[in-house]
Structure 1
Amino acid sequence: MARGMLARPCDVFINHHGVDTERTVAGLLYHRLSQLNLNPFLHSKSMQPSNKPFESISSAIRKCKVGVVVFSPRYCNSYLCLQELALLVDMKKKLIPIFCDIKPSELHVMSYDKSTPKELLRFRNALTEARYTVGFVFDSQSGNWSDLVTSASDIIVKILSEEEGC
């Protein structure tokens, strides 16, 4: 069965703004987790042309054990990123935030044409939850990508092994 068909539930959902982080931390982390025989979900790697995006994404989030949220300077410009984050928080998934080239205090919800005041509040609450969760702060100009990916992978493996022990 093809990797993108989600033969088994994903272990880790990687939430990120593709333009900013697909070819760096999100892609590297996906590759590393796959090497560790985990089943990560990353839009560009996990979905096939015939998949329905919203169904695939919400199913992956419901079934995942850990959500990695890669915040970047344009993350909050993405309605989809905030929807995914809010769903991760609503479903009380363990979050591992990675603040890549942005500080937690710089994350702000914008207004979207298609969002309601209730939805904006949900996004703000999800951002607040993530902001106050211990994670990684990374500067792409001076940081070491390999160290970041290794550290994040180690934490994910630890969380997953603790869950299996329950």
Structure 2
Amino acid sequence: MGLRPKIWHNLAGPACDVFINHRTVDTRRTIVRLLYDHLIQQRCKPFLDAETMKPGDRLLDTIDKAIRGCKVGVAVFSPRYCESYFCLHELSLLVESKKRIVPIFYDVKPSQLHVKESTILSCSQKDLKRFNLAVEEAKSIVGLPFDSSKDDWSELVREASKAVVSKVNEEISA
């Protein structure tokens, strides 16, 4: 009888409580990193692409599995958020998977969020429809507004973390 190697697979994707959806160029060095660190201090397991993914991971497969396996999504909307196929894909998957979403409107008002066909190159009509539905759904969720030129960063991180931990706990209790 031969020895069989043990192969470890996490079919649900990376184990995480919270998926952080954001536009890297707008938010990684500001709110997203602060929120990620604060959630870890609160004993949550956040998924942040740059922190959680490793070389060799398949980008969309890993992200899609993390979204399907998370309890709560945080969508950090920023001025150029709706120009990103990846942001909109992740948001659509969060909405389609019926995940609770905590929106943060970072330097943007919900009414300013629009998916423009011209900014998302080579995107199918089906995806555009999904993206528009997801953005409209997210705009109807009470979120945290933030103006980086005048609002308090630590207050935003505290409020966002509190909202996220509350939603995670609700999911665990459900």
TM-score computed with the length of structure 1 as normaliser: 0.93
1:154 paired residue number: 162
Identity %: 49
Q: CA deviation at 1:7?
A: 8.9
Amino acid at match of 1:141: S
1:89 paired residue number: 95
More displaced stretch, 35-44 vs 110-119: 110-119
Separation in 1 of the partners of 2:88 and 2:173? 31
SS at match of 2:29: coil
1:14 paired residue number: 20
1:32 paired residue number: 38
Separation in 2 of the partners of 1:114 and 1:58? 20
Separation in 1 of the partners of 2:33 and 2:20? 9
TM-score computed with the length of structure 2 as normaliser: 0.89
- Residues 1:87 and 1:8: Cα distance change in structure 2 (over 3 Å): closer
1:100 paired residue number: 106
Q: Deviations over 1:74-115 (max 9, x none)?
A: 101111000000000000000100000000000110222321
Residue segments in structure 1 that go unaligned for 5+ positions in a row: none
- Residues 1:30 and 1:94: Cα distance change in structure 2 (over 3 Å): same
- Residues 1:7 and 1:74: Cα distance change in structure 2 (over 3 Å): closer
1:128 paired residue number: 136
Following superposition of structure 1 onto structure 2, how do residues 48-127 of structure 1 map, counting pairs within 5 Å? 48-111=54-117, 112-127=120-135
SS at match of 2:57: coil
- Structure 1 runs (4+) deviating above 4 angstroms are 5-8
User: For the Cα contact (< 8 Å) 2:89–2:131, is it kept in 1?
Assistant: yes
SS at match of 1:122: helix
2:52 paired residue number: 46
SS at match of 1:24: helix
Residue segments in structure 2 that go unaligned for 5+ positions in a row: 1-9
Separation in 2 of the partners of 1:7 and 1:70? 22
Separation in 1 of the partners of 2:68 and 2:173? 20
User: For the Cα contact (< 8 Å) 2:14–2:69, is it kept in 1?
Assistant: no
- Residues 1:126 and 1:7: Cα distance change in structure 2 (over 3 Å): closer
